[in-house]
Amino acid sequence: MKKLTKTKGFTLIELLIYIAILVFVLVLVSGMIVITLHTRDRIKVTTEVQQNLIFSIEKIAYATRKALDVNLPDDNSSGSTLSLAMADADVNPTVFSVSDGVLQIKEGTSDVQDLTTDKVTVSSIIFYQVNNTGAKPTVQISLAIDYNAGGNPYLQASSSRQTTISLRQ
């Protein structure tokens, strides 16, 4: 009678168990990669909105501090356009307004320049002139910006700020 010798190798059951473990690990790793990519995209979107918002507010604040007077809106009223009387004739008047969701600046006779990128939309802007008797004019700004997500729910972001700036001149 011949004696059976055990050959080295894996049985079918062992091979199936190893494949099942490998598939499980790959599914976990791919899930973590997808979550990481979505998180990265959300951070990029939020950063884009914040950068546009901060830049816009700072640009408006800088021009307002340099202005001699506020043309629009009128005293103790609000509007979506801010017109500033400037000392420098080349930039007089300086006008901030929104066109098709883009915040724009027009300084004197120069061309209109966009302050926000095409990746965001200005959803709301309100300029309110507070004119206290005997004090320099003060402008209150309320600005809200949304990201153009294109229907992607992972890429929705919006932010708003409100600040008050007094003329220094």
Half-sphere exposure of 105 (CA within 13 A, CB side): 17
How far apart (Å, rounded) are the C-alpha atoms in residues 86 and 64? Answer: 9
Sign of the torsion angle spanned by Cα atoms 68, 71, 76, 82: negative
72 confidence band (pLDDT: 50, 70, 90): confident
Q: What is the pLDDT of residues 96-135, one digit of tens each?
A: 999 999 999 999 999 999 999 999 999 999 999 887 777 7
In a domain, 26, yes or no: yes
How far apart (Å, rounded) are the C-alpha atoms in residues 55 and 41? Answer: 21
In a domain, 2, yes or no: no
pLDDT, mean of residues 147-163: 87
Domain that holds residue 119: 12-166
pTM: 0.80
How far apart (Å, rounded) are the C-alpha atoms in residues 129 and 40? Answer: 40
Percentage of the chain modeled with pLDDT above 90: 67
In a domain, 89, yes or no: yes
pLDDT, mean of residues 15-44: 94
In a domain, 6, yes or no: no
In a domain, 42, yes or no: yes
In a domain, 72, yes or no: yes
In a domain, 5, yes or no: no
Number of separate domains in the chain: 1
